[in-house]
Amino acid sequence: MAEQDGMAEQDRPARLQLSGISKQFPGCLANDQVDLALAPGEIHALLGENGAGKSTLVKIIYGVLRADSGEIHWDGQPVSIASPSQARRMGIAMVFQHFSLFESMTVAENIALGLDHGPDLDRLAAQVGEVGRRYGLTLEPERVVHDLSVGERQRVEIVRCLMQNPRLLIMDEPTSVLTPGEAESLFKTLRQLADEGCTILYISHKLQEIRTLCDRATVMRAGRIVATCDPRHETAHDLARLMIGEDFSRASKTAGGTRGAARLQVRGLSMAAAAMHGTPITHIEFEVAAGEILAIAGVAGNGQNTLLAALSGEQLCASAGDIRIEGQDAGDLGPRRRRRLGLAFVPEERLGHGAVPEMSLADNALLTGYERQDLLSRGSIMFSRTRDYAQRIVQSFQVVSGGVGSHAGSLSGGNLQKFIIGRELLQKPKVLVVAHPTWGVDAGAAAAIHTALLDLAGQGTAILIVSQDLDELLQISDRIAVLSDGRLSECMLTAEADIGRIGLLMGGHGRSEGDVNDAGGERRAAQT
């Protein structure tokens, strides 16, 4: 119910007031005298480049970190937020960019851990189902988290917060792995919460959704507040320029590029799901030529994990000929031997799969680059060369960090994504398979990553991108196909693709019998 306190809007105390908040880490002033006021019932965007200090600030609000100096007022009263449990008792809930879930536990058990007074699990499972249906975020409470896709894990985080009936809801990149339909359902929920008096602090690099959803926007740069505006009256480009401090250009695919011979070929690939509740893939056929970017769109949970595991070599194929790299059968080869053939791989999950959180950036660079970058000599690590390689990644992709000795887990999500992308691209692979290349990165960094991918394709690399960010895929790909329920549609030339039909295919509709893995149609498209 909307708040009825009889006070004029301008006379109400701020729901949350930050004054002079500063936080220093070794070699990095993350927050520098930050002032921020959030009103009851507003949806307030917090914008900034990767490393601008947004995540540090919201962790202070949620009690994960303590500020070195400054004051926090809640409903006009000074407070000290010592822990997340205290924040939850005050009415503060948060959806983190990196998932805070226990992979060996079920959905219901993870949600129960986030509730200070969780009900009986059977009753909780019924509540989870009810909340999921109400908000269009369907979950199966009995499923184990390690079997869920990235998109499904995000749903768990969101539902867990919504069950706390928060007065301040902090959302850090909540739509990064949601479909447009799921995102719109979320926006509807957030608007309803705001109408009822809940304050929303919203962090996202999707500037168009900021313009659509938010009432106000505060922009951070290098740990400081540099601007406040009404995003509804700004263009997405203007918002990006405020974040970056200078102008920039979006990358775009040049039509009419020359395609070479096929470097990655997938023929009749069928595979059981990598996880118990995953989606198997059936008779997948496509090829990617030298100098080409092929995009595979699709809603999370439709077989992407299985396909990526098959392509990377983490799950071996039934037949060696199911996958060919540079003309050689590779379906029965593991990841290391596929990399020797020229494959590089960027997984969808950054922490734990793309990088080891407890290891330094230099050591993480070594993990996949030791052969193609000659980082070993007679079985010994060449530490100086490894550090130089990691430093090249940091400099080339403008990774904000405390140096190459910093643990990967200490980086913001966007900066870690830039590091992983850079690590693979600088190896100059012959074939690059990348999932969600710009997940959680700011507009400027996304443009830089797109440019780097296009440059790599221009040098002859065959690139396969698996993502559900349709705008991104349409911007930089030569051809596009849709993965739905483990089956791949016919590939289409991106320049001629019917966006409405792609959307229907992503939703599991609009597929005719001839669309799915039509080998003849695929080969005709590949020869166009």
6 inside domain: no
DSSP letter, residue 95: E
**In a shared domain, residues 448 and 525:** yes
Domain final position from 246, 278, 294: 246
DSSP letter, residue 494: G
308 inside domain: yes
Structure tokens at 160: 């867990």
DSSP letter, residue 160: H
Residue matched to tokens 């065959």: 462
Could you tell me which residue, 115 or 286, shows the higher pLDDT?
286
Please compute, for residue 29, the number of CA atoms within 13 A of its CA located in the half-sphere on the CB side: 11
Contact 407, 357 (CB under 8 A): yes
Closest CA to 269 of 314, 309, 304, 321: 321
Residue matched to tokens 């483990």: 486
Could you tell me which residue, 497 or 201, shows the higher pLDDT?
201
- Asked if pLDDT for residue 522 goes beyond 60, the answer is no
Query: 298-309 pLDDT, tens per residue?
Result: 877 789 999 999
Q: 81: domain CATH number?
A: 3.40.50.300
Q: Burial, 118: exposed, middle or buried (Cβ in 10 Å; 0-12, 13-18, 19+)?
A: middle
Residue matched to tokens 């056929």: 285
Residues 6 or more apart in contact with residue 230 via CB below 8 angstroms: 215, 216, 217
Structure tokens at 124: 């909780």
Closest CA to 103 of 141, 142, 145: 145
Name the band, by pLDDT with cuts 50, 70 and 90, for residue 250: low
- Asked if pLDDT for residue 453 goes beyond 60, the answer is yes
- Asked if pLDDT for residue 254 goes beyond 80, the answer is no
Number of domains in the chain: 4
- Asked if pLDDT for residue 399 goes beyond 50, the answer is yes
Query: 377-396 pLDDT, tens per residue?
Result: 998 999 999 999 999 999 99
**In a shared domain, residues 334 and 480:** yes
Query: What values do phi and psi take at 40, rounded to 5?
Result: -60, 135
2 inside domain: no
Measured between alpha carbons, how far is 42 from 197 in angstroms, rounded to an integer? 8
Name the band, by pLDDT with cuts 50, 70 and 90, for residue 115: confident
Measured between alpha carbons, how far is 40 from 183 in angstroms, rounded to an integer? 23
**In a shared domain, residues 434 and 504:** yes
Contact 249, 256 (CB under 8 A): no
Name the band, by pLDDT with cuts 50, 70 and 90, for residue 469: confident
Between the alpha carbon of residue 300 and those of residues 138, 249, 528, the distances in Å are: 13, 30, 29
Q: Which of 43-57, 220-234, 403-417, 509-523 has the lowest mean pLDDT?
A: 509-523
Planar angle of CA 415, 114, 199, nearest 5 degrees: 70
User: Residue range 120-128: average pLDDT?
Assistant: 87
Per-residue pLDDT at 100: 81
Per-residue pLDDT at 2: 37
Cβ–Cβ contacts within 10 Å for residue 503, how many?
17
Measured between alpha carbons, how far is 422 from 437 in angstroms, rounded to an integer? 11
3 inside domain: no
66 inside domain: yes
Cα radius of gyration rounded to whole Å, the chain: 23
Between the alpha carbon of residue 460 and those of residues 192, 254, 424, 446, 464, the distances in Å are: 50, 15, 15, 21, 13
Domain final position from 131, 165, 199: 165
Name the band, by pLDDT with cuts 50, 70 and 90, for residue 447: confident
Per-residue pLDDT at 220: 95
Per-residue pLDDT at 6: 40
**In a shared domain, residues 334 and 443:** yes
Q: Which of 92-101, 152-161, 191-200, 237-246 has the highest mean pLDDT?
A: 191-200
Could you tell me which residue, 479 or 196, shows the higher pLDDT?
479
**In a shared domain, residues 198 and 61:** yes
User: Residue range 266-275: average pLDDT?
Assistant: 90
**In a shared domain, residues 354 and 420:** yes
If you average pLDDT over every residue of the chain, what do you get?
A: 87
Residues 6 or more apart in contact with residue 388 via CB below 8 angstroms: none
**In a shared domain, residues 478 and 411:** no
Per-residue pLDDT at 129: 86
Query: 485-504 pLDDT, tens per residue?
Result: 899 999 999 999 888 788 77
Contact 486, 306 (CB under 8 A): yes
- Asked if pLDDT for residue 5 goes beyond 50, the answer is no
379 inside domain: yes
User: Residue range 219-229: average pLDDT?
Assistant: 94
**In a shared domain, residues 420 and 434:** no
**In a shared domain, residues 437 and 387:** no
9 inside domain: no
Contact 67, 60 (CB under 8 A): yes
Structure tokens at 458: 């221009």
**In a shared domain, residues 71 and 159:** no
Measured between alpha carbons, how far is 488 from 516 in angstroms, rounded to an integer? 6
Contact 107, 94 (CB under 8 A): no
What is the rounded end-to-end Cα distance, in angstroms, of the chain?
Answer: 58
User: Residue range 331-348: average pLDDT?
Assistant: 96
**In a shared domain, residues 446 and 517:** yes
Domain final position from 138, 165, 192: 165
Range list of H helices, 69-149 = 84-90, 107-113, 121-135
Measured between alpha carbons, how far is 355 from 315 in angstroms, rounded to an integer? 19
| Coil, helix or strand at residue 112 | helix
- Asked if pLDDT for residue 154 goes beyond 90, the answer is no
**In a shared domain, residues 76 and 202:** yes
Query: What values do phi and psi take at 525, rounded to 5?
Result: -65, -40
Q: Which of 26-30, 95-99, 197-201 has the lowest mean pLDDT?
A: 95-99
Please compute, for residue 107, the number of CA atoms within 13 A of its CA located in the half-sphere on the CB side: 28
How would you classify the pairing of strands 199-203 and 43-48? parallel
Measured between alpha carbons, how far is 6 from 14 in angstroms, rounded to an integer? 15
1 inside domain: no
Sign of the CA dihedral with 107 first, then 140, 86, and 22 last:
positive
> What percentage of the chain carries pLDDT values higher than 90?
57
| Owning domain of residue 20 | 14-91+169-246
